[in-house]
Amino acid sequence: MTGEDGTIGMNKATKLSRTTIMLFAILDALVICITVLYVSSQSASCDSDWLYRYNGEIWFDHEISDEDTTFPAGKRFQVNMIMSRGEVSFTDPDTGIFISHKYYINDAANSLELHEAVKQMRLQDVRKGFIKSAIAGGICFLIGLFVYWLIDSEFGMVGNIVTFVVTLLLFWGIGSFFATYISKARAPVIYLYPKTETEVSVSLALNGRLTKTYPLFNRKNGWTVTASPDGTLTDKNGNKYPFLYWEADLVIKPDLSRGFCVKGEDTKTFLETALKQLGLSDIESADFIGYWLPQLEGNKYNVITFQTTAYENAASMKVSPEPDTVIRVNMLWYPSKEKVNIRPQELGCINPAVRKGLTVVEWGGEEYKKGKFCLEPVA
């Protein structure tokens, strides 16, 4: 009798234990899914300026011009890329003239078609975020299931509760580590200026992974283009580009010891001065400011630092033939509602003051958001 009661009691305990195991594992998975989706939404809010590659046409119902060339209304151009805030870059298929970020898709005669294309590309990014969230949740569920099953028989309900808390803290700790040290390098663009027309190869060695490139990056050999003294880059198919573009998830520990706290309304003036000290030309500075200013000028304050050794360690670049001058500008920033005291950073000694021979110029940056880097929705 006692034996039968004991057996029944043990079976009941085992059944309840399995239910508890399953419940806690599901809760773990839900926590991870929600966390990944939250990070994805935060990433979407700070990555409003992604460039989308689009193989289509654009035309206007009025004349457009680029320097000394005027194109008639109705002229059809080949779209190269669209910035999600509406700027578009395109090429005249007849002359090869490249027109970059001077016109918006709202100006185009086929603006509805282009807006729909951007919408679909955004939806594709959202789908990727959900898929990766589901994968992360599934992996967490299996790990949690195994952990709870492993120790449940020894510690019962109390053990389950303790394990659940410890497991969540463990996942939170691991997630905090990666959120602190994984940066989304945004809009790094590379300009090449040889003295004479030269074939140039550019490769990247990243402590992380590439997420977007334009033109397409060969993961084995990098980019190979023919560079002209005016900075025009031509690939083997005859396509022309003003620069090489890439984005990546980088594992980087930033240096926040020096920098600047700038009022949002003063950011444009600050950047004009700072970028000149860092060695960018007027055109390169205009590209940089055009990309970043819309995100900075509306804040009360911006804390801005320019990363040097930390960035170089996370994203080294190899160029062949070896350049005579290399200028790299990487801006880390975050908004602040109040003034932050920070030691000023000396900018004049970061990059060469004079350009000689084959010159390589790169600029890019990332937002440091709420104490953590803005993560791409694992883009």
pLDDT surpasses 80 at 272: yes
pLDDT average, residue stretch 149-173: 61
Predicted pLDDT at 273: 96
Burial class (CB in 10 A: 0-12, 13-18, 19+), 337: exposed
pLDDT at 284: 94
Q: What is the DSSP letter of 346?
A: P
Q: What's the average model confidence in pLDDT over 135-142?
A: 69
Among residues 87, 122, 142, 151, the alpha carbon closest in space to that of 286 is found at: 87
Rounded Cα distance between 295 and 305, Å, is 16
Confidence at 308, pLDDT banded by 50, 70, 90? very high
Structure token pair of residue 180? 């602190």
Nearest to 135 by CA among 62, 48, 32, 65: 32
Over residues 269-293, mean pLDDT? 94
pLDDT at 226 over 90: yes
Cα–Cα distance for residue pair 225/235, rounded to 1 Å = 5
Measure the CA–CA gap between 205 and 192, rounded to whole angstroms: 18
Instruction: Give the pair of three-digit tokens for residue 122.
Output: 């955004």
Q: Could you tell me the pLDDT band of residue 4, with boundaries at 50, 70 and 90? A: very low
The pLDDT score that the predictor gives to residue 156 is 56
Tell me what pLDDT residue 363 has: 95
pLDDT of residue 51: 58
Q: Which residue has the higher pLDDT, 376 or 216?
A: 216
> Whole-structure pTM over 0.75, yes or no?
no
- Mean pLDDT for 245-268 is 88
For residue 261, give both structure tokens.
Answer: 């706290």
Contact indicator for 159, 21 with CB cutoff of 8 Å: no
Cross-strand partners of 256: none
Is the model's pLDDT at 355 over the cut of 80? yes
Task: Report the 10 Å Cβ neighbour count for 237.
Answer: 6
Distance of CA 324 to CAs 23, 197, 236, Å?
Answer: 62, 15, 24
Determine the Cα–Cα distance for residues 329 and 343; give it in Å rounded to an integer: 19
pLDDT greater than 60 at residue 365? yes
- Write down the pLDDT at residue 248: 86
**Helix runs in the chain, H state only:** 2-46, 111-181, 267-277, 282-296, 309-314
Per-residue pLDDT, 37: 60
CB within 8 Å of 303: residues ≥ 6 apart: 259, 260, 261, 262, 333, 334, 335, 336, 340, 342
pLDDT in tens, 329-347: 999 998 888 888 888 999 9
pLDDT score, position 11: 43
Contacts of 49 (CB under 8 A, 6+ apart): 83, 84, 85, 186, 187, 291, 294, 295
Region of poorest pLDDT, from 64-68, 70-74, 145-149, 221-225: 145-149
pLDDT score, position 99:
77
What pLDDT is recorded for position 379?
26
Given this model, what pLDDT does residue 219 score?
A: 81
Task: Report residue 267's pLDDT band, with 50, 70 and 90 as the boundaries.
Answer: very high
Between 258 and 253, the more confident residue is 258
Instruction: Give residue 1's pLDDT.
Output: 42
State pLDDT tens for residues 21-75: 667 667 666 666 666 565 555 444 444 445 566 778 999 998 888 767 888 999 9
d(CA 291, CA 81): 14
Work out the burial of residue 188: count CB atoms within 10 Å of its CB; fewer than 13 is exposed, 13-18 middle, 19 or more buried. Answer: buried
Q: What proportion of the chain, given as a percentage, has pLDDT over 70?
A: 68
Query: Can you tell me the distance from the alpha carbon of 225 to that of 217, in angstroms, rounded to the nearest whole number?
Result: 11
Task: Report the chain's mean pLDDT, rounded to a whole number.
Answer: 78
For residue 178, is pLDDT > 60? no
